[in-house]
Amino acid sequence: MTVVIDKSEQSTISKKNRIPQLLLTITLPLVMLTGCGGGSGGTTKVTKAPVTKTVTGPTWLQDQFQPSSDFVAQCKDPRSGSSPITHITYPDKPGSELLEKHWQRAFTHETYLWYKEVIDKNPKNFNLIDYFEQLKTTAVTDSGAPKDKFHWMEPTSNVEERTQLGVSYGYGITFDKKSSIAPPRSWQVKNVTPNTQAMTAGVSRGSKLLEIDGVDFVNTTAQSDINIMENAIYSSNEGESHTFKFIDINNEEYQVTLQTAAITAVPLQLAKTIATPQGNVGYLLLNSFSISTVEKDLFDQFTLFSANQITDLVVDLRYNGGGFLALSSQLAYMVAGKDVTEGKLYEKIVYNDKNASTETPFLDVTIDLRRLIGGDSIIQADQALPTLDLARVYVLTTGSSCSASESFINSLIGVGIEVIQIGETTCGKPYGFFSKDNCGSTYFTVQFKGENDAGFGDYSDGLVPAKLPEAGKLYQVQGCPIEEDYLHSLGDKEEMLLASALYYQTHNTCPVIVEPSVKLSRKSINGFSSTKSTLSQPSNSVNYFGAKFNTRTPRQDAIIDDIYFDKFRHVRAGKTQ
């Protein structure tokens, strides 16, 4: 999630628990006797060895902590000069790995949400990476998964490339990376950005990737082949050409040649009104809350929905990895309206007990966010937002629905709106980060969580669609657990998730999914049906030790992407400056 708050409201780190400065051990002067000549008649010279001071680093005392500022930027391998991306001068000074580990320890104690659950261990017993890895809670969720699945470090140069360059290079293809490690690998096209070469070349939703630049993507185990494919997939050299071979849902192979290009995201990719016997249904395919211009797009679209007398709404967040919390707050207000949200919290940001919580309201007016973060004005601020005043909303989700998208669902539930979740479990990112660079590594450690007006925010296993949610399991949301199938275009009334939402709107229950009895048959939803592809699903071995394709999970992408938005948390949501 991305928080937008006043600079004056930023949490300050407690300065408690200070102890005396670093303890240094000093090597005592040694007196050395050396014989000159032989026998007892020789002379003896007494020589004093040079006095040397050996710095062994700070002394670890369990559960006693110095401030992280005592250890910051004291590096085993200090950088020099400045970042080629941000042009900020590196603050690094000569130090040691032990000092870096003491910084990790102090930083965790100051900012980590669950710092009281971290067992304080001697940093001398670990290397740098392993020490940080264990600086987290060992608690588990209801599913038995670790409560903290968000804890890692990454080279700062990698993070800066992703978050600071301001331009995304690629081909406009979004893949469902079903399997990236052991052969057979499986990447399937789930969306193609409008107005890109990939769309013009005919890359189709549901196609599976077979080859990149002549290399067998599915089966290769050679590191040299992996390098070729990664250079193509992650190329940032504008105009560089690469070939991609696919097989589509009809089992027909095709090949395209695409040039790496700057990709302009289309956050509100599709919006329309669908006429049904029960009334007009609005549909939004909203791929991101990260582009500030979508504020005007949503304002205009909800104005149109209101004019079209929308009685039901389907919000498609299946590929929405999050972004500005202010934008998701505005969207929630336009769905629910004034009567339900007045005086209620959209989200409460809860830190550890050393830092005060902050609150984000349901925003009921335009804020011209683009201007507030330094861009050109695109919409007049302080206009009342159009509302639909709905008691129920349908939300389509997958494992790529993260952060501010999950806040949208959780916050509406918190004020009594009936959310019907159709699709797959969300990525599970109720937590936030103020990432920190030290000595060339950027550290991600949970520092806050978001709670709705009812005080709930523990869904690190994701928000789970359930036909009959279990009592007390608030992460289960009324709805239909259905897997996306890629057999129809997004927004098509026969597309699996949208068709299921329309079925629920008519029958007030989930559809029965009829699985095919043979590979080449039809898969139907009580009347909605489509050809089933014969493409097989991969079965990866957890014991594979060969060359691995470099990739991130949707959760990791959301965490890293949110770093950009945290720069603007000094802008208070709902107030122009």
Most distant CA pair in the chain: distance in Å? Answer: 120
Distance CA 45, CA 33 (A): 7
Specify the amino acid at residue 392.
Answer: R
Nearest residue to 462 via CA among 443, 484, 481: 481
What are the start-end ranges of the E strands in 241-336?
241-247, 253-259, 261-263, 268-276, 279-286, 310-316
Specify the length of the chain in residues.
577
Average pLDDT score over residue span 156-175: 75
The residues with which 523 forms a beta bridge, in sequence order, are 530
- The first and second tokens of residue 260, run together, are 């790496």
Average pLDDT, the chain: 83
Q: 48-57, 105-114, 321-330, 479-488 — which is least confidently predicted? A: 48-57
Q: How far is CA 300 from CA 281, 389, 434, 500, 551, in A?
A: 17, 16, 33, 27, 37
| Strand 74-75 relative to strand 93-94, pairing | parallel
Distance CA 447, CA 563 (A): 13
Q: 234-238, 330-334, 419-423, 547-551 — which is least confidently predicted? A: 547-551
pLDDT at 506 (0 to 100): 96
Q: 49-58, 83-92, 421-430, 514-523 — which is least confidently predicted? A: 514-523
pLDDT at 560 (0 to 100): 63
Average pLDDT score over residue span 532-557: 58
pLDDT at 537 (0 to 100): 37
Q: Give pLDDT tens digits for 255-293.
A: 999 999 988 888 999 999 999 999 999 999 999 998 888
Q: Give pLDDT tens digits for 446-499.
A: 999 999 999 999 998 999 999 999 999 999 999 999 999 999 999 999 999 999
Q: 156-165, 400-409, 500-509 — which is least confidently predicted? A: 156-165
pLDDT at 561 (0 to 100): 64
- The first and second tokens of residue 390, run together, are 């709905």
Burial zone of 218 (CB within 10 Å; 0-12 exposed, 13-18 middle, 19+ buried): middle
SS3 letters across 486-511: CCCCCCCCCCHHHHHHHHHHHHCCCC
Asked if pLDDT for residue 510 goes beyond 70, the answer is yes
Contacts of 190 (CB under 8 A, 6+ apart): 174, 175, 176, 205, 319, 484, 486
Task: Provide the H-helix boundaries in 439-490.
Answer: none
Question: In a 3-state reduction of DSSP, which class is residue 504?
Answer: helix
| CB 426, CB 401: distance < 8 Å | yes
| CB 346, CB 336: distance < 8 Å | no
What's the pLDDT band for 20 if we cut at 50, 70, 90?
Answer: very low
Complete domains list, the chain, with CATH: 7-163 (no CATH), 172-259+538-560 (2.30.42.10), 268-427+462-484+488-532 (3.90.226.10)
Nearest residue to 450 via CA among 555, 351, 363: 351
Distance CA 466, CA 54 (A): 62
Any idea what the Cα angle at residue 231 is, between residues 225 and 233, rounded to 5°? 100
Contacts of 38 (CB under 8 A, 6+ apart): none
Of residues 460 and 92, more confidence is placed in 92
What's the pLDDT band for 420 if we cut at 50, 70, 90?
Answer: very high
Contacts of 377 (CB under 8 A, 6+ apart): 368, 370, 371
Half-sphere exposure of 35 (CA within 13 A, CB side): 6
Distance CA 428, CA 410 (A): 12
Asked if pLDDT for residue 573 goes beyond 80, the answer is no
Neighbours of 363 (CB within 10 A): 25
Of residues 4 and 384, more confidence is placed in 384
Average pLDDT score over residue span 307-333: 95
| CB 216, CB 196: distance < 8 Å | no
What's the pLDDT band for 432 if we cut at 50, 70, 90?
Answer: confident
Question: In a 3-state reduction of DSSP, which class is residue 141?
Answer: coil
What single string gives the DSSP state of each residue in 41-76? TSEEEEEEPPP-EE---PPP-TT----GGGTTTEES
Distance CA 327, CA 346 (A): 11
Cα dihedral: 179, 184, 190, 194 (round 10): 110
Contacts of 254 (CB under 8 A, 6+ apart): 202, 207, 245, 246, 247, 248
Distance CA 530, CA 400 (A): 24
H or E segment to which residue 145 belongs: none
Average pLDDT score over residue span 92-114: 97
Q: Give pLDDT tens digits for 369-397.
A: 888 877 789 999 999 999 999 999 999 99
pLDDT at 284 (0 to 100): 98
Any idea what the Cα angle at residue 349 is, between residues 343 and 350, rounded to 5°? 120
| CB 421, CB 317: distance < 8 Å | no
